A and B are shown apart, each in its own frame.
Chain A
């Protein structure tokens, strides 16, 4: 069987995707720890503010030091993604420029002014400003990072669920017509809540893991136990909230991107009363035969759970891959047209676009209004005009399937971990196996966090903009060799940066808090 997972065929679109994925994965190594540690250190400093106990000041300062290392290493790594938009994804970038401009500009301004101001007060201001002002600065640093995340996630959500825009045939750009629709789309809200809360989980796992290391070494025991307690409480609350927001995200995906949900579940043929797969023997290295197989082999499932997850109804209808391709009745009674019809409507849109551009060039202005109206009528399916066969609109199922399971499984593991830690802290016991587990959960948390993004981004393939622009049209006509060179250049650069961060971080952890 062909190994599809590692078979980058050398095409420019694959290398551009790989490069973007590499950059985004690397960038995401820093973001969740920033968001998560901000909450933990904010709580610690709040305790210091209330108790005036110097122990909590030192404790907060230690975690702020680790926050600072991570913050410094993460700065500007996201900028590279914007470079890639302009070079590797120029068609896409041009098409979305007017929609993305506002959120990304706000993100840049907020990130720069809010974070840079309050980060400085947080690190330099312990002896310069009042305790209250310092506490406010610590929380505002976290808030600034969270607001930055909001705008980036708004931009990402718009690609998954484009709303609040109109395509202008004269400028060839999507233009924002409703800022509110873009900023507060249901996908953006769900994505923000789930992403930020899961970042708190990662931050909590980090605190609990590092504290476990001190307890294993029998160093700074009181500091470690108190940090662990706060980390575990934050982690437990965040893990439960992540489960709730995860459910809501799954519901929204079911409504807006049913193909993604079908790929996450390896659901080839849907229906009512759908069960949620716990395990199935989905080969990680090859796209399954979704056309002919009824379901993946060795499937173990929870009855009705997928219907509940996707529709909030135990008996709700969930479409499978073949249903989406062949057409189905949605839960609201509306008929979702088959792929064949979407392809026809997409080609109508492209034909109308071509005719409009020619009429405009030739000065036949009397035809423009009719052609524009014809285009807008078929615009929602424009991307299907580029699709030649059904296989092109099915994401790579194994990655979606397994990433989803690792994400959910990891989330459940963390809930157990935090419960166990709080239980043993309450009983004043120190089981070493638990501390070892907590320590090993740090890399697991990163893997789980990245898997969340793999589900989101692999699941929306082939669309750079859902239903509007497939990857092979959004990409620039570059030489694949040049993209390949920068891919490996980044690999070396990013790995070096990561090694530097881990080295500085470990050194500071070994040094410990200044109690």
Chain B
């Protein structure tokens, strides 16, 4: 009985998302915009313009690097 309920619940959730995405109209445009934006943010910007400064400059000892920065500014 419980398994049945669980299956019903999960299939209803699947149904909600499946039908929702399939019947989207304006949503298709919005998802396209979101995907392009996420690509620009996480692939272009993060990889090429926003490296983690400390991991590339601190040579493994971030505390020492930052203390040097704080004491020599």
Which of chain A's residues has its CB closest to B53's CB? A90
Contacts of A91 in B (CB 8 A): 66, 69-70
Q: Chain A residue with minimal CB distance to B69?
A: A91
Contact B46 A83 (CB under 8 A): yes
A:459-512 near B, CB below 8 Å? 472-473, 476-478, 482, 485-486, 489, 493, 497, 500, 504, 508
Does chain A have a CB within 8 A of B37? yes
* Min distance, Cβ B21 to any Cβ of chain A, angstroms: 8
A432 at the interface (CB under 8 A from B): no
Please report the C-alpha to C-alpha distance between residue A124 and residue B34 in the assembled complex, in whole angstroms: 18
Q: Which of B12, B37, B40 contacts A128 (CB 8 A)?
A: B12
Tell me the minimal C-beta distance from A283 to chain B in angstroms: 31
Q: CA of A123 to CA of B26 in the docked complex: distance in angstroms?
A: 11
Pick out which of these stretches binds chain B: A315-323, A350-358, A412-420, A442-450. A350-358
* Residues in B whose Cβ lies below 8 Å from that of A500: 33
A120 and B34 form a contact (CB under 8 A): no
Task: Select from chain A the residue with minimum beta-carbon distance to B21.
Answer: A124
Q: Are B17 and A120 in contact (CB under 8 A)?
A: yes
Q: Is A131 an interface residue (CB 8 A)?
A: no
Q: Is A128 a contact partner of B19 (Cβ separation < 8 A)?
A: yes
In the complex where A72-B30, A170-B63, A477-B69 touch, is A86 in contact with B53 (Cβ < 8 A)? yes
The answer to whether A65 and B26 touch (CB under 8 A), given A80-B45, A87-B50, A90-B54, is yes
Task: Name the distance in Å between A30's Cβ and chain B's nearest Cβ.
Answer: 12
Scoring A residues 85 to 129 as 1 if CB is less than 8 Å from chain B, else 0, what string do you get? 011101101110000000000000000000000001101110011
Residue B73 lies at the interface, judged by CB distance under 8 Å to chain A: yes
Given A87-B50, A91-B66, do A124 and B37 touch, yes or no (CB 8 Å)?
no
Shortest Cβ gap from A389 to chain B (Å): 16
Is the pair B27, A123 in contact by a Cβ cutoff of 8 Å? yes
Q: What's the nearest-Cβ distance from chain A to residue B19, in Å?
A: 7
What band does the interface of chain B fall in when counting residues whose beta carbon is under 8 Å from A?
35 or more
Among B19, B20, B33, B66, the residue within 8 A (CB) of A73 is: B33
Known: A350-B71, A357-B71. A84 touches B50 (CB 8 A): yes
SS class of chain A's interface: helix, strand, loop or mixed? helix
In the complex, the chain B residue whose C-beta lies closest to that of A493 is: B40
CA distance A483 to B52 in the complex (A): 14
Establish whether residues B30 and A69, one from each chain, have CB atoms under 8 Å apart when the complex forms: yes
A472 to B69, CA, bound (A): 11
The CA of A445 and the CA of B27, in the complex, are separated in Å by: 27
Other-chain contact of A94, B21, B51, B54 (Cβ < 8 Å): B54
Specify which chain A residues have a CB less than 8 angstroms from the CB of B43 in the assembled complex: none
Q: Give the nearest-CB partner of B22 in chain A.
A: A124
B50 and A120: CB pair below 8 A? no
A75 proximity list for chain B (CB < 8 A): 34, 37-38
Given contacts A120-B17, A508-B26, contact A94 B62 (CB under 8 A): yes
Interchain nearest-CB distance for A100 vs B (Å): 15
Q: List 30 A-B contacts (CB under 8 A).
A: A69-B26, A69-B30, A72-B30, A72-B33, A72-B34, A76-B41, A80-B41, A83-B41, A86-B52, A86-B54, A94-B66, A120-B17, A125-B16, A128-B15, A128-B16, A128-B19, A171-B63, A172-B62, A172-B67, A353-B70, A386-B73, A472-B73, A486-B45, A486-B49, A486-B50, A489-B49, A497-B33, A497-B37, A504-B33, A508-B26
